């Protein structure tokens, strides 16, 4: 199988020459266009998620040899979450070469966080299957490099911080409820409310459900810290 000019250019941006180009084609094929004899990228995304996890676990440990697990975990979570994968995908122009069905294209699929994040993980798996873990790790380090370096100073995950705050006081973990969703399919806005067992709650709106949850958790955490001093 030969790659198109756009796919070859994308592979060059990745810095990997595929011995089995069909793997890259599969990684870039969304389920909306898969059919008889044409594989989509879902299975590769499953594998790529695990390859990324191992490569990133090694990377965050190497970046801070003296850090405890409690410090490494939030950095790792920040670096492997779907939003970060999508951001990396955008940095290499992955959206432009995604193979999408008509409905996905019309709904802005080339810019959707979930599609971009999944495809980026599938690309990592394609490199892994094509050339092994060392090549996949090199790709991850190359594309995530600046993010790995800055993760140490990144803000602590507010959802984790809120859960630790309430559990330290013997309270039940917070619950997150989506209370509204508006906007077009290609640019939705989510409103999420975080609730505690005692009735205290805060809501926030963002472009992704995760971001809305984090913003709501941050607001409620600030309120609790102000109350408790």
Copy the structure tokens of residue 198: 């005692």
121 is catalytic: yes
Of the candidates 40, 104, 118, 121, the residue annotated as catalytic is 121
Q: Which of 49, 104, 118, 130 is catalytic?
A: 49
Report d(CA 14, CA 214) in Å as an integer.
31
Q: In the annotation, is 17 catalytic?
A: no
Give the long-range contacts of residues 77-82, CB within 8 A, separation 24 or more: 77/157, 78/151, 78/154, 78/157, 79/144, 79/147, 79/148, 79/151, 80/49, 80/52, 80/53, 80/56, 81/210, 82/113, 82/114, 82/117, 82/118, 82/210
Which residue numbers are catalytic?
49, 121
């Amino acid at each position: 199988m030969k790659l198109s000019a756009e796919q070859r250019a994308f592979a060059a941006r990745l810095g990997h020459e595929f011995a089995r180009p069909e793997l890259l084609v599969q990684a870039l094929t969304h389920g909306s266009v898969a059919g008889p004899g044409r594989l989509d990228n879902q299975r590769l995304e499953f594998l790529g998620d695990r390859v990324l996890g191992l490569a990133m676990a090694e990377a965050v440990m190497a970046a801070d040899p003296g850090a405890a697990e409690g410090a490494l975990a939030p950095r790792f979570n920040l670096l492997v979450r779907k939003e970060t994968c999508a951001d990396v995908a955008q940095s290499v122009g992955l959206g432009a070469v995604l193979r999408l069905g008509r409905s996905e294209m019309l709904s802005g699929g080339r810019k959707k966080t979930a599609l971009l994040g999944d495809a980026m993980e599938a690309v990592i798996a394609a490199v892994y299957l094509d050339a092994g873990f060392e090549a996949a790790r090199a790709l991850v380090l190359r594309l995530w490099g600046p993010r790995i370096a800055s993760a140490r100073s990144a803000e602590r995950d507010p959802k984790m911080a809120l859960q630790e705050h309430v559990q330290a006081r013997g309270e039940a973990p917070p619950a997150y409820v989506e209370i509204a969703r508006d906007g077009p399919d290609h640019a939705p806005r989510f409103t999420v409310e975080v609730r505690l067992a005692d009735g205290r709650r805060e809501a926030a709106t963002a472009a992704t459900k995760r971001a809305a949850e984090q913003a709501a958790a941050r607001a409620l955490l600030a309120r609790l810290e102000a109350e408790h001093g």
